[in-house]
Every structure is written in C-alpha cells, then in structure tokens.
Chain A
Amino acid sequence: MAKSKRRPIWQATETLSWDLWMAASAIGLTFFGLVMVYSASAAAKNPSHHLLTQGGAALIGIAILATLRRVDYHFYARPVVVYGFLLLCILMLASVFLFSARQGAHRWIILPGFSLQPSEPAKLAMVIFLSWFLALRESEKQLEDFWATIAPAGVVLGILSSLILLEPDLGTTAMLCLITVTMLWIAGSPLRSLLLAAPVLAVGLVIMILIKPYRLKRIYAFISPEMDPLGAGYNIQQALTAIGSGGVNGLGLGQSRQKRNLLPEPESDFIFPVIGEELGFIGGSCLILVFAFFLWRGLRTAWRAPDTVGRLMAVGLTTWIGAQAFLNLSVALKLLPTKGITLPFISAGGSSLIAVLTAVGILLNISASGSETRNQQAEAG
C-alpha cells in the first residue's frame, strides 16, 4: 500500500506540520543531559572531558536530526540502503576486536580524537532492516510463515547480536532482541511463532552465563545487594543509596556525594542515581514523565503513520529509545538485574547520543508524513 506514494527524497516544502513537541522534548533531554553529565563528572580527574565530547556529539546529533526530519523515510526502505547499512554495521562490529579493550570490553573503534561505538548504529540498522523487510513480507502475505519471515529476521539478529555479545555487551544484545521481538509482534507475526524463538534465546543466555560466571553473580547481587555491600551488590546498593538519600527535594544541582567514586560510571550507566540524588523525587519523576511524553509522541507517530514501513519504523525507533530508558531506570531502581545500559539522551556517550538523535530525526519525518496523509484525507473527504 505504501509503494505508490514514493516522493522525492528531499522534501523542500515547509507546509507540512511536524511534531514540534517531540523535537522539543528530545532536544530538551539532550541539553539536560549535558548539564547532568557535567555535574556527574565533576569529581573526575578531568571534569570537562565528558562535557566537551558530549557537547560535540549533541551538536552533530542535532544537525543530523534537523537534516533527517526533511528526508523522506521511504529513502531508507530500499534494499541498497538497508543492506548497505547492515553490512557497514557488521564490518564495524567485527573491527572493534582490532582495537584495544577498555575496561575489559571491545566496544569501541578508537580513532584519533574520538572513538565510535558501532553497536549504537547497529540498533538503527536493525530497525530499518526490519521495517523494510516486514513491510515487504506483509505485502506478500507471508508474515505468518516462520521460514519466510521469522527465520531470516532471526538470522540478521543472530549475526548482529552475536558480534555484540562477543564484545561483550549483554545490555545492547538484550535491547536488540527486544526491538526485534516487538517489531515482529507489531507487524503481525503470530505469537506462537515468536514463542518458538524463546527456547533458542534461553539456551543462548545459559551459554552466556556459563562462559562468564560473573553474570550469575550479578543476578545474585540483584536478589540481595545488602548481603555483600562491597561485593557484587555494591553498584546497585550505591545507586539506591544515591536515589534514596536525595529525598523529595534532592541535595541540589552539583551536590551529589555518591558520584565521588562511590557510584560506578556516574556519568554514564548510573547517571540517573546522580539525578535522583541532586534533584530529588521532583527532578527524577519529571525526567521520567518527559521520557513518557516522548514515548507517547513516538507511539502517536506510529499510530498515524501513513504506511506499514513508517509504522514499523516508528514503533521500532520508539521502542528502542523508550525501552532503553525504562531498562536503565529499572536497573538503577533495582527492578531488574544490573547490566550496562545507558539512558538515552542523558548518559555520556557520543555514539549513543548521535544514534538516538538520528532516530528522532527519522521519527519526525514520519510524524510529518502522517500529518500530511491526514491532511490529504481531510481534503479528499
């Protein structure tokens, strides 16, 4: 149904209404993130290091966002782009092993001046691939066919996630699986076909735990962090202490005490505890509500999307950003076991921020197309 509507890649017209609210919340979160990253890294040896890289990434990201909101999203839904992007990501993911490890993990392509985390664009590539592929299968009425739909999607997911798992990066792998399953389900794959894939995932998880026993420790730590506050449960205990000691009003911006070498990675995975400690329940809940608001605008975009590609793409991107945010918050609040997942827009990490802002750029274009469709429908009616 969508194919007939192909338009020029570059939409010159400004008459289309786009989702200003979504753009505002995304950019607002980005700037808030800059402030918090600076505050969280204040106790570090080089306090402005993270602020500068994050600021640079924010500028690039916003420029990309502003550009992509004018690029028709159908541009991505063609085999050349999809496979090219996928191939690029696989190559980059493979090449991380050529570079030296940081904190025991090969996650970065380290170039002079900056470094790149290919698992971030990989998430974007996966969403684009799936929305194109699933829309194609839907038009061929083969969505319910396990071998035609779920198996090929699983292969692509398998390639990407096994590379990421090897880094190792369990958090991003989990995100990738979550995005895939959600998109398959939304596209209309029968639940029982999806359930067939569950044992495969379970076996994979068990193997992962067997390879790296510290993961089991993390799960124990999740169950009772108080048992051993300086051992495996240390991180989560420090995070809860930070959030809890913030109280309703917080200690004030910049006043976090837990960020002083008590919280691990206070500017990245555990930035929410710093926010909770400094800005209290008021600041923390406001942040969560802004994420919820962004999520709502994303789902609204999917709802109003003019075609299946747009809808799936919007669902995939929204799920990625929303679920990642909720996962990060759930870990910080000890609702889920500890794993390295960053808070989109906020956590320090240039690749992540640029990838997320790129996603928002695409979402904005879909939302504008949705409005256009409605306008056209209104005119027709």
Chain B
Amino acid sequence: MHRRLKLLAMILFTWLIIILWRLTWVQVVQHDYYAALARKVQVDITRQLPVRGTIVDRDNHYLAYTLPLNSVYVDPKLFRKTMADRLRKSYEKLKREGKTSQTFEQYSEQTISDALRELAPLLGQSEADLRLTLSANESFVWLKRKMEPDAARRVKDVIEKYNLHGIEIRDEAERNYPNQELAAHLIGYVGLSNKGVSPGGLDTCYGVAGIEKQFDNFLQGKPGETEQSQDGRGDVYERRVLPPMDGAKIKLTIDSALQRKVEMLLAQAVREHRAKGASAVVMDPRTGEILAMANAPTFDPNRIGGDVSRNSAYLNQAVMLPYEPGSIFKVVTFAAAFEEGLITPDEMIDCGNGQITVGGRVIRDTHSYGRLTIEDAFAKSSNVGAIRIAQRLGRERFHRYIINFGFGAPTKIELPGEQAGVVHPAARWRPDSIGSVAIGQEVSVTLVQAVASIAAIANKGVLVSPHLVSEITTAVKGDVLYKPTIESRRVVSERTAELMTRILQRVVTDGTGRHAVQLSGYTAAGKTGTPQKSFGSAGYLPGRYMPSFLGFVPASEPRYAIVVMVDEPAAGSYYGGVVAAPIFARLAEAALGGADIAPDDPKYRQLVQSLQEKLSARPTEMDLSDGDEVMGGGQPEASGAMAPISYSLPAAAKGGEQVAPSVGTKPGRVEAGSRMPDLRGRGMRAVTTICSGLQLKAKIFGSGVAVRQSPAAGAMVSPGGECRVWLEQD
C-alpha cells in the first residue's frame, strides 16, 4: 500500500511539474503574443489623421500646406449582408407596431431607394451608378475622394438617418503647393504611403524628396488615437482619447520673390542657350542663409508623374551633382597663396606665353600672355599664372586650403542626397595634379560648396555653413523644435579676404566678366569659369561646357553670394563670362533692388550728383519723381546722355560676339509666377487657405462651395493681388 502511495505521489508531482511548465510557457514565454491578442479582443482603436505641417518661406508665405479632406468608401459585400439583417429587424418592429402594410420587399426597396436618392447628389453620382457600385462583388470601392469636411458631414447624416452600414468616411488629406514649380527642388514632394490602402488605415503622406523628406518626421505629426476598451458584449468601459498632433511648421530661409526671379532667369537661359540645364544658388554670406536655390528644368510638385528616378528635372543638381568647377576654383588657389604670403596683387608673374608643362603635361591658356600682375593673371583667368602660384604653394598646403574652404565634404545643408564632391588626398596626387587642381580640374564641387566658399571671402574670411531652414516650430503653439546649428570658421585672414575682393572686382571691371557684369549702381566681385564637362573615364568631350560664374554683391559690403552654372549651352557661346555672368548680373540686380540696398558704386554716385546738378539747371525736361526709373536699365537715353559712363547699356553695345540679353527688368520688381488653381467645389476654409498660400487677398461672396472665381483657373497671378470667389450652397 505504501509503495502505491509513493507512486501516486510521484504521478501527482509529475502532473504538478507539467502544469507549472505550461504556466511558464503561456505566461512568461508567450506573454507578448497573448498580450497582443488580448489587446485585439479588448481594445478598439481608431486613429485620426494629423494635418501635415506647412512649409513657409522667410516671410511666412505658404510653400506647402495640407487641406484636411474626407473620402467616402463602401464595402459593397458588407453593405448588402448587414443591410438585409438591419432592414429585416426594423421591418419586423414596424410590423409588430402595425405601422406598415408593405411587404418586406417593398419596405426594403423603398428604404434603400430613399437613402440612395439622398446620397447620390452628395457623392456627385447618379442614383443608378451608386446602385451599381453597391451591387458590385467587391470589398472596397471609393465613392468619392477628397471632399470637403462639410459635405462629408452631410453624407454621415444620411448614413445615420437610414442606419446604413458599410459606407464609411475617412480622413484623407491633400498636399498642396500653391506656387507650383516655385522652389520645387527645395520643398520636394510627397508620396502616399501604401499603409493607407486597408479600409481601417489612414492615408499618410510621406516625404519623398527635399525638405518634405529631410524633415518628414517633423512634418508628419502624430495621429490621434481613440482607444475604447470593450467587454465581451461590446459595451465600452474605458475610453482614452489622444488627439492628433499636427505636423510642425518649417520656415525656410528662402526669399520667394528672389527664388521666383532665379527660376525665371534660369528657365530663360536654358531656352536662350539651348542648354541642358542651369542652376543657381544665392546665399547671405553673413548668416549662411540660402535665399534662393534653383535648377532648370524643374517640376511641379502638385503633379508628380512618370519615372521620377530617370527624370533629371527631379534632381536638385545644386547639391546632388558635383562638377569640375574649372576657373572659378582659382579663387581657392589665389586665396591660399595670399594667405601664405606667397604673392601680392601687384607682383609680376610670368605667364609663359600661354603654356606650361606640369609633370610632363602641357597646359595652355586661351589667350597667351607674357608677364602679368597677379591681379591681371586672375582677372584674365590665366591658367599658367594659377598653376605657377599653386606650385609655390605645394600640394600639401594647397590641399589643406581646399579642404578648409569646405570642399570634399558635404556642407550639411538640410537637403537629402547632398554630395561631398571629390578632392583627392594630397598623397595620391599625380605629378601633374597640382596643375589640374589649380585650375579646377581633378576636383569636383557642388554649387552649394562653391557659393559657401566665395561667401567666406565676402564675409571677411569667415566661412558660415549654408543652411536652408530658419526654424521648425509646433503647429499650434509655435514652440521651437529645431534651429539650425550654424558653424562658422575662419578660412583666411581679413587681409586676404580684402585682397581677394580686390582681384575679384577686377574680373568684373577689366577681366573676363567685364562685358556682362555691369550693375547699375553697385559694385560686384566674381570669377568666371568655363570648365569642359568631364565624363569620368571618357574624359572631356569637345563642345560640352558648363559655364559658371561665382561672385558676390555689393563688393564693398557683401549681401549676396551667388553662383550660376549653365549646363551644356548649345547655342554658340559657352564662356562663363558670356553665358553665366549676365545671369549673375540680373540676379544680383534683382536681389539688391528687392532688398532696397543703397548703391555703392562711386561712379554711380558721381553720376547721380552730376545728373542732379544738370537737372537743377534745367528743371523742366525731366520728371524726377521716380529716380530709380531714370537710373534703370530701360532708359538708354538717360544714361546715354551721361556718356562716357554707360551703366545700363547692354553688353552688346560694347561689341564682341557676346550678346548678353539686355537687362530690361527693373531691379527689384519681380514678375508674378503662379497659376491660379481651380477653386470650384472647394469650401470656404480651403479657399481662404489656398488664396493665402498664393499671397492673394481673398474676397468671398456667399457660402457653401465655390462655383465661380476671378481670376480664372490657369491665369497667372501675382502676390498681393486680389481673388474673388463666389460660393453657393449645393
């Protein structure tokens, strides 16, 4: 008996061990699985879409915003299945109460047709179409997408009135770029996350390029969540509501007016020179703020289509495509030599009659020179001179300055896909490399790097890291979430910066840029470049150039550092001084005029003075009420009278094959650049948002949805204009 008792004890003990093992397995090992399962059974979660953050320019004009809209969809299978039950129940109730004499078929047919009759106009469909959709053998069909929240609310009312099931409304936002192409490469664009396809999910936009991508997590916001704990009967015993947190507002350093001007000029240049493309960057050398950055061709972020990855229009070439900069790189060569005390501006240098042999390779100048001052060697862009100077520096020292000017490393501008460019380490330079690098070959740079380097000269030798974002703030309270960390470091001494400014000015007054860069009233400093396009191992192909101009204005107190590059002009001229410099000049004038900066050119001041004297002598001839118009480029007689100084004469007047386009635009007045969108069907809130995005004053008549507008859709509108919209109840 005791033996069997022992056996019983052992059996029970084994059982105990099995139970404990099983408990450990379920409760400890599989806890996560069951916790998730429990949540699924106990908690019903619905999510609300946050409104994606807006992107604004430096003056708080909208560049990108999101309109919260609603979409309506139906699950036809579910609709038919549940409606049969529901109708049956309500019919039986009516029958019991003796309130109907219809048969069930009559009753359900009447109810459904009543509901569809009310629903169809709200969804913009005919009753028959709607009926067809509801009988489809599908589980998900859109009934109407992106409708105004007001209209969606009316749909909801109908759904509730007839106790319909299977027709659902969900948030669906629409991202708008009111200025179409404006700053498209900077803003980027959004794609629709495929997570949103399931009926319960949310359509979330995510940034694909530009700022939209770079700061996607700031822009996204957090979806709101309503968590309802339900018991087994479906009764709610606990509710937790977390409202959605709208995305942050990103303020760019971009000046929309200037940006628009840059884009116009680039598009014009591409047309005129039959170029493959063109890019330009404008930066404030004092702060590192990017005021404008543009590439042609460009795109409209509202209409993304085709194979985005193969279309170069979608690339922000200014940061993504490094190129061999050519002569503009001589800025670094000369600055390094000045800083090291190896040259002075007035020192004579032997330019070897336009030919030099470096490491066995012969390098020639376009024009051959004998002995030139350092200043002239720079202004005339002598390759031999630059190479001689680089040889004095030696590869180690030269390399150090190149790196110090920010080349070979990304500038960390807030844009995705920025390239570092290529600067080979000094140890790997071939014997002839010093000759190549001195004149901007064997290195590649992005335009942002280039503009930052010239800005360092403009900013008295201190390089400020370029940045595009001024601040990121929360949507509602405006709490600052992000401020760029602006790094600045001294690259060359103030003295060197002064010397460089002097020789850069010389380029414009007497050198390669003299024909094109003649600003009305302002001094300028800059350097031309006419690099041949490098095709990697294929080398340089004949006739493929990337004329560039790198400089700043005004020379005396620099406010704008500007770089312009035209990719493969095919209409004849290809020199930097001919193709790129005029764009620089017009850009500079637009920027200076727009900012209302006092002219600094001493010759201009003399001119004004003498003009005033003459006018006081003969006060009847001219109306001086608008002095700036007199000085403007569009008044050749006025400036012609002031010979020999000819500020505003087109460069063509000075002969040569360089036909620079006439500077016809009045400085500071920026052309309008946005097309009016179609507002029809939009609600009051959307209309006001869109108009303020376009910087238009909205005048709204009536209420409901827009039926008529002025200006018409597609018309060009300028900021500050007026927009009239008539609304009607539908």
Residues on A lying within 8 angstroms of B by beta carbon are 43, 182, 185-188, 238, 240-248, 257-258, 260-262, 276, 280-281, 284-285, 288, 292, 295-296, 299, 302-303, 308, 311, 315, 319, 322-323, 326, 329-330, 333-335
Contact = CB atoms under 8 A, between A and B. Distances in A.
13 contacts: A43-B237, A186-B5, A241-B37, A244-B33, A244-B34, A246-B31, A247-B28, A258-B42, A262-B41, A296-B9, A299-B8, A319-B8, A333-B22
Given A247-B35, A333-B22, A261 B232 contact: yes
Given A186-B5, A247-B31, A288-B23, A258 B16 contact: no
A303 B42 CA distance: 49
Nearest to A262: B232
B12 A295 contact: yes
Interface in B11-31: 12-13, 15-16, 18-20, 22-24, 26-28, 30-31
A244 B37 contact: yes
B614 interface: no
B27 A248 contact: yes
Interface of B: 1-2, 4-5, 8-9, 12-13, 15-16, 18-20, 22-24, 26-28, 30-31, 33-35, 37-38, 41-42, 229, 231-233, 235, 237
Contacts, number: 117
Contacts of B26: 240, 243-244, 333
Contact of A302 (B5, B16, B19, B20): B5
Contact of A284 (B9, B27, B41, B237): B27
A241 B38 CA distance: 6
A220 B237 CA distance: 33
B34 A241 contact: yes
Contacts of A257: 38, 42, 229
Given A43-B231, A326-B16, A281 B28 contact: yes
Contacts of A299: 5, 8-9, 12
A284 B229 CA distance: 25
A47 B38 CA distance: 23
Q: 6 closest Cβ contacts across the A-B interface?
A: A244-B34, A261-B232, A260-B231, A245-B38, A262-B232, A247-B31
Name the prevailing secondary structure of the A interface residues: helix
A322 B4 CA distance: 17
A335 B22 contact: yes
Contact of B23 (A238, A261, A284, A303): A284
Contact of B27 (A281, A296, A315, A323): A281
B42 A288 contact: no
Contacts of B233: 261
Given A281-B28, A299-B8, A326-B15, A242 B38 contact: yes
Given A299-B5, A326-B12, A243 B42 contact: no
A188 B1 contact: yes
Contacts of B12: 295, 299, 322-323, 326
A281 B23 contact: yes
A185 B4 contact: yes
A326 B20 CA distance: 11
A334 B302 CA distance: 58
A292 B30 CA distance: 24
A188 B2 CA distance: 10
A186 B8 contact: yes
Contacts of B237: 43, 260
Contacts of A335: 18-19, 22
Q: Which of B4, B15, B20, B26 has the most CB of A within 10 A?
A: B26
A238 B42 CA distance: 11
Contacts of A315: 5, 8
B179 to A, nearest CB: 52
A308 to B, nearest CB: 8
Nearest to A312: B1
A241 B39 CA distance: 10
Given A258-B42, A315-B5, A288 B34 contact: no
B35 to A, nearest CB: 5
A261 B231 CA distance: 6
A247 B27 contact: yes
Nearest to B18: A335
Nearest to A335: B22
A187 B1 contact: yes
Contact of A241 (B1, B9, B41): B41
Contacts of B15: 326, 330
Contacts of A311: 1, 5
A333 B19 contact: yes
A240 B35 CA distance: 10
Contacts of A284: 23, 27
A182 B8 CA distance: 8
A285 B15 CA distance: 14
A187 B5 CA distance: 9
A244 B35 contact: yes
Contacts of A334: 22
A245 B34 contact: yes
Contacts of B9: 296, 299
A288 B20 contact: yes
Contacts of A303: 2, 5
A240 B5 contact: no
Q: Which of B2, B5, B20, B23 has the most CB of A within 10 A?
A: B23
Given A262-B42, A276-B23, 11 more contacts: A241-B34, A243-B27, A244-B30, A244-B33, A245-B37, A257-B229, A284-B27, A285-B24, A326-B15, A330-B19, A335-B19
Nearest to B24: A281
A186 B1 CA distance: 6
Nearest to B33: A244
A238 B33 CA distance: 13
Nearest to B22: A333
A140 B37 CA distance: 60
A50 to B, nearest CB: 18
B41 A240 contact: no
B16 A288 contact: yes
Contacts of B229: 257
A280 B42 CA distance: 18
A214 B16 CA distance: 29
Contacts of B4: 185-186, 188
Contacts of B232: 260-262
Given A281-B23, A303-B5, A335-B18, A248 B28 contact: yes
Given A326-B15, A326-B16, A280 B231 contact: no
A245 B33 CA distance: 8
A243 B8 contact: no
Contacts of B231: 43, 260-262
A284 B23 CA distance: 8
Contacts of B28: 247-248, 281
Contacts of B235: 261
B16 A244 contact: no
A281 B27 CA distance: 6
Given A241-B34, A257-B229, A295-B12, A280 B27 contact: yes
Contacts of A261: 231-233, 235
A122 to B, nearest CB: 22
A163 B59 CA distance: 90
Contact of B34 (A240, A295, A329, A330): A240
A308 B30 CA distance: 46
B38 to A, nearest CB: 4
A258 B38 contact: yes
Contacts of B23: 243, 276, 281, 284-285, 288, 329, 333
B34 A243 contact: yes
A308 B13 CA distance: 23
Q: Which of A182, A248, A329 has the most CB of B within 10 A?
A: A329
B32 to A, nearest CB: 9
A244 B1 contact: no
A244 B5 contact: no
Nearest to A247: B31
Q: Which of A186, A257, A288 has the most CB of B within 10 A?
A: A257
B44 to A, nearest CB: 13
Contacts of B35: 244-245, 247
